[in-house]
Structure formats: C-alpha cells, structure tokens
Amino acid sequence: MTRVKKAVHALKNRRNVLRQAKGFRFRRSTNERAANEALAHAGAYAFAHRRDKKGDFRRLWNVKINAALRAIDEKNSYSKFIGAAKKKGIALDRKSLAHLAEFKPETFKKVAAMVI
C-alpha cells in the first residue's frame, strides 16, 4: 500500500476551521483544537435555538393579542378569545392576529367583535 501524507488536506481543514472560528474570543479563534470544540458547541446551540425561536415568537404573538384585547375591553382575555374563535370556526393563526393587533387595530376590533 502506498504511503499517504496528509499535509495539504490537514492545512486545508485547519484553514477552514479557523476561518469559521474567526471572531471567537481568546484561544478559540487561533488554536485548531479549541476552535473545533467551539464550532461543535456553536452548531448544537444554533440547531436547538432555531427550534426555541418558534416558541419565543408564539409567546410574543400571544402577548400582543392579549394586549389588544384588553385595550378593547378590560374583561377580554387571550384564552377566552382563542376558545371562542375555535368554537366559531374562525381559523386565523396567531401570527396574523398579532400583526392585525399591532398594525391594524381597527381591523382587529372587527375580528374581535365577530368572535366575542
């Protein structure tokens, strides 16, 4: 079997890893082993937080809808509104309801009047 020297590929790999770790602090941006470890953790966090972001936005939409409902009438609440909307068969999602509540309050009032 022929001997394989890995110099070219090792240098290419090192260059790519350190390029990806540019901007990291201390040894993690200059040392290949530390950079590899930091990149592995960064990838894991990015994967997990892409999923967390969806929940974060849903919670934000709920807060916006609830605030708009309270502005219309103090007795209104998010949970009662969503329950009533499901019973009436109004299939507007929370994202669009929150957008209406924030940027088009008159339209949101009409929707809320239909539901409640």
Return the CATH number at 108. 1.10.1900.20
| Overall domain count for the chain | 1
1 within domain boundaries: no
pTM comes to: 0.76
C-alpha to C-alpha distance for 81 and 109, rounded to whole angstroms: 12
2 within domain boundaries: no
- The pLDDT tens digits for 36-93 are 999 999 999 999 999 999 999 999 999 999 999 999 999 999 999 999 999 999 989 9
- What DSSP string describes 70-112? HHH-TT--HHHHHHHHHHHT----HHHHHHHHHH-HHHHHHHH
- The domain of 40 spans 7-115
C-alpha to C-alpha distance for 66 and 83, rounded to whole angstroms: 13
